[in-house]
């Protein structure tokens, strides 16, 4: 059991980790996560099995995801409360980044016209 700590130490998430956590909003096994990531990222992010296997071990060790079901073929994971907290903080920061970026784009367009 990982000890509770501030979500800040896990941020920023890599693009792959961000989508993996989003995909685990509902319990999923490895390959289902790979398919979901490709789909929700609109094909911009693909996660290979080596990357996903490593991410599952690392995120479980950090306590951001929890094993929900396990049989001899596959493990199913879901977000832990700590994982939800980290994801929520990442989404908040991405929102700030997106808003300042949009303001910059608008100023640039104005200056050009």
Tell me the number of residues near other proteins by CB under 8 A.
22
Residues in CB range of 76: below 8 A, 6 or more apart: 27, 28, 29, 67, 68, 69, 70
Q: How far is the CB of 68 from other proteins (least distance, A)?
A: 14
Give the residue, chosen from 27, 40, 52, 62, that forms a contact with other proteins under the rule CB under 8 A.
52
- From residue 17 to residue 46, what is the string marking binding to other proteins with x (rule CB under 8 A)? -------------xx--x----------xx
Query: How many whole angstroms separate alpha carbon 104 and alpha carbon 22?
Result: 28
Please, which residues have CB within 8 angstroms of residue 38's CB and are 6 or more apart in sequence? 45, 46, 47
Binding site for other proteins (CB under 8 A): 14-16, 30-31, 34, 45-55, 58, 72-75
């Amino acid at each position: 059991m990982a000890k509770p700590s501030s979500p800040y130490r896990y941020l920023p998430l890599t693009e792959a980790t961000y989508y993996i956590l989003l995909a685990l909003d509902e319990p999923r096994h490895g390959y289902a996560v790979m398919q979901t990531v490709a789909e929700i990222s609109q094909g911009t992010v693909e996660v290979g099995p080596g990357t996903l296997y490593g991410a599952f071990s690392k995120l479980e060790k950090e306590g951001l995801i929890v094993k929900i079901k396990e049989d001899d073929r596959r493990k199913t994971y879901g977000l832990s409360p700590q994982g939800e907290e980290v994801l929520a903080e990442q989404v908040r920061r991405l929102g700030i980044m997106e808003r300042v970026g949009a303001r910059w784009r608008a100023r640039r367009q104005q200056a050009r016209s």
